């Protein structure tokens, strides 16, 4: 038999052998590192999708909390992990969007060290006030701030948090000036607001919604680009004070750079399918979050835009963290 003919006849037999040499994924549990303690929004959202991924995959997706250091140690551990699809990280607005501009010795590069998979959910922020606060809408608030620049106290969840950066962005875009009072987390801040010790706060909808519904706090404006289903009658800051304004917390998934593209695409497709299910959408809305799935390319572009936005804010407001 001529050599060329033998080669052509033998080629199809090689294809199944080559395919068989590629190991199936996942063959063992997939670890998702959440760089914060249990119970925070990023942890809750990640655990929800991890349970759903576990139901789709032949192996479980296991969540591991590694808190501390503004999330940097947990994120770094994934940047240094094998790029085999078995270690992922909950990529958040703080660790991927803000940290690159406020931590001088960040032990990872949020763009180069990771393969973005998909965003999961946006965590809307809002301006909320004590019921005794005289300004009940954004226009009245702006008038008060122009008359008394730097005198109105506003609570944030701490330096360089999404709440703090949202305040700084609003000041940068509008020229309005608050006196920012930092708390150790959202909980203590909203507690002080409800008690009347601080009149206004930039908080997450998830933290403030129960107080708003109970009449212990008043929603002034949401920081998202569009009105949200949980507070449909509350205007946005974009439509009232600053066109184009948008600030939110968010949580997605990323893998170490170099993770095989088929694995990244597989996880992203599974996430998009999960986040399209009506029951999951309803659960996320009940947690005061907004599903926000996308392709790996879309999530990568979103992360780049977030880094650029918060770098501008951090430089203008001179926001820095030690660590």
pLDDT in tens, 35-86: 998 888 899 999 999 999 999 999 999 999 998 898 999 999 999 999 999 9
- What is the number of H-type helices and E-type strands within the chain? 12, 10
Q: How many domains does the chain have?
A: 2
In a domain, 21, yes or no: no
Quote the mean pLDDT of the chain: 92
Best CA proximity match to 40, nearest among 157, 168, 135: 157
Residue 18: pLDDT above 60? no
Residues 87 and 155 in one domain: no
219 in the same domain as 158: yes
- 267 & 278 share domain: yes
23: pLDDT strictly greater than 70: no
For the stretch 195-238, pLDDT in tens is 999 999 999 998 899 999 999 999 999 999 999 999 999 999 99
Q: Which domain holds residue 196?
A: 124-240
Characterize the bridge pairing of strands 200-204 and 153-156: parallel
Q: Of 224, 240, 256, which residue constitutes the final position of a domain?
A: 240
Q: 232-255 in b/e burial notation, b at 16+ Cβ within 10 A?
A: eebbbbbebbbeebbbbbbbbbbb
Same domain membership, residue 289 and residue 223: no
If one compares 39 and 169, the residue with the highest pLDDT of the two is 169
pLDDT at 178 > cutoff 90: yes
Q: What is the pLDDT of residues 283-315, one digit of tens each?
A: 999 999 999 999 999 999 999 999 999 999 999
Task: Evaluate if residue 323 carries a pLDDT over 60.
Answer: no
Amino acid 222: pLDDT: 97
The answer to whether 104 and 136 are in contact (CB under 8 A) is: no
Instruction: Evaluate whether residue 297 is within a structural domain.
Output: yes
* 130 plus 232 within the same structural domain: yes
pLDDT of residue 314: 97
Helix boundaries (H) for the chain = 3-21, 41-56, 72-79, 99-102, 138-147, 162-174, 186-194, 205-213, 237-240, 261-274, 278-286, 296-317
The answer to whether residue 58 is domain-embedded is: yes
Whether residue 225 sits in one domain with residue 140 = yes
Considering the domain architecture, whether residues 142 and 220 belong to the same structural domain is answered as yes
Q: Which residues contact 52 (CB under 8 A, 6 or more apart)?
A: 274, 280
Would 2 be classed as within a structural domain?
no
Q: Check pLDDT > 70 for residue 130.
A: yes
Q: Are residues 107 and 204 in the same domain?
A: no
3-state DSSP call for residue 247?
A: coil
Q: How confident is the model at residue 322 (pLDDT cuts 50, 70, 90)?
A: confident
> Is residue 15 pLDDT above 50, yes or no?
no
pTM of the full structure: 0.87
Residue 11 lies in a domain: no
| Residues of the chain above pLDDT 90, percent | 86
Q: Give a yes or no: residue 51 inside a domain.
A: yes
139 pLDDT band, cuts 50/70/90, is very high
Q: Tell me, what CATH number does 71's domain have?
A: 3.40.190.150
Q: Per the domain annotation, does 43 fall within a domain?
A: yes
Backbone angles phi, psi at 296, to 5 degrees: -55, -40
* Domain end residue (candidates: 221, 240, 259): 240
Residues 161 and 228 in one domain: yes
Q: The domain spanning residue 135 has which CATH number?
A: 3.40.190.10
Is the domain of 178 the same as that of 232?
yes
Residues 150 and 69 in one domain: no
pLDDT surpassing 80 at residue 20: no
Question: Where does a domain end: 178, 207, 240?
Answer: 240
Q: Is residue 10 part of a domain?
A: no
Both 180 and 92 in one domain: the answer is no
């Amino acid at each position: 038999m001529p050599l060329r003919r033998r080669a052509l006849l033998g080629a199809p037999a090689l294809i199944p052998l080559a395919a068989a040499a590629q190991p199936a994924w996942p063959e063992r549990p997939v670890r998702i590192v959440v760089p914060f303690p249990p119970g925070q929004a990023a942890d809750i959202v990640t655990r929800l999708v991890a349970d759903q991924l576990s139901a789709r995959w032949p192996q479980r997706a296991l969540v591991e909390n590694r808190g501390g250091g503004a999330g940097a140690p947990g994120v770094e551990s994934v940047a240094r992990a094998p790029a085999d699809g078995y270690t992922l990280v909950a990529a958040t607005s703080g660790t991927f969007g803000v940290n690159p501009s406020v931590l001088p010795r960040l032990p990872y590069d949020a763009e180069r060290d990771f393969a973005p998979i998909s965003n999961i959910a946006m965590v809307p922020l809002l301006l909320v006030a004590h019921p005794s606060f005289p300004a009940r809408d954004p226009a009245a608030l702006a008038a008060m701030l122009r008359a008394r620049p730097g005198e109105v106290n506003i609570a944030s969840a701490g330096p360089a948090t999404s709440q703090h950066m949202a305040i700084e962005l609003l000041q940068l875009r509008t020229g309005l000036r608050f006196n920012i009072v930092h708390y150790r987390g959202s909980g203590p801040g909203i507690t002080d607001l409800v008690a009347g010790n601080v009149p206004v706060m930039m908080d997450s909808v998830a933290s403030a919604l129960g107080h708003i519904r109970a009449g212990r706090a008043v929603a002034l404006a949401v920081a998202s680009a569009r009105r949200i289903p949980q507070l449909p009658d509350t205007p946005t800051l974009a439509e009232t004070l600053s066109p184009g304004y948008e600030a939110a917390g968010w949580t997605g998934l990323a893998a170490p750079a170099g993770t095989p593209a088929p694995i990244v695409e597989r996880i992203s497709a599974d996430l998009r399918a999960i986040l399209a299910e009506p029951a999951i959408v309803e659960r996320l809305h009940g947690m005061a979050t907004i599903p926000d799935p996308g392709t790996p390319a879309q999530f990568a572009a979103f992360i780049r835009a977030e880094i650029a936005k918060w770098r501008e804010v951090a430089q203008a407001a001179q926001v820095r963290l030690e660590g």
